[in-house]
Amino acid sequence: MAYDSELAERIREQLGIHDGVSERKMFGGICFMVNGHMTVGVVDDKLMTRHDPARDDEYQAMEHVTPMDFTGKPMKGKGYVAADGIATDDELALWIGRCVEFVLTLPEKKPKAPRKKKA
């Protein structure tokens, strides 16, 4: 998986102030979870966001922001911010803050049951 490891480290540093943070490789990059909910991630050199779907139009009108469209159809509440839009720590913090604020409104995720091993 190719993703910007420096951006991932910047995200780790900023998410370090929050409880319940974990990491998972997915979407061809790395995702950072807060309380089990995908919050932000890195795909190539872009920040992947999970934000309030009610703010899609507002965010997608911003420079450097594009919708996430793995399936060929834009996904509500998810997008990408190009490297130029998160060049400074303040810009990155703003996006991380938006995403964390949104996922903290989601219901608590129940732990998944362990998978049974095949015989």
Mean pLDDT of the chain: 90
Domains delineated in the chain: 5-103 (3.90.1150.30)
Element (H, E) at 33: strand 29-34
Give percent above pLDDT 70 in the chain. 92
Q: In Å, how far are 44, 54, 92 from 106, measured between CA atoms?
A: 27, 14, 22
Name the 3-class secondary structure at 10: helix
Residue 1 has pLDDT above 60, yes or no: no
pLDDT for the residue 113: 65
Instruction: Please compute the mean of the pLDDT values over residues 26-33 and round it to a whole number.
Output: 88
Distance (Å, whole) CA 34 – CA 98: 13
**Which band of pLDDT confidence, cut at 50, 70 and 90, is reported for residue 8?**
very high
Phi-psi region of 97 (alpha: psi -120 to 50; beta: other; left: phi over 0): alpha
Average pLDDT over residues 85-105: 96
pLDDT tens, position by position, 60-83: 999 999 999 877 888 999 999 999
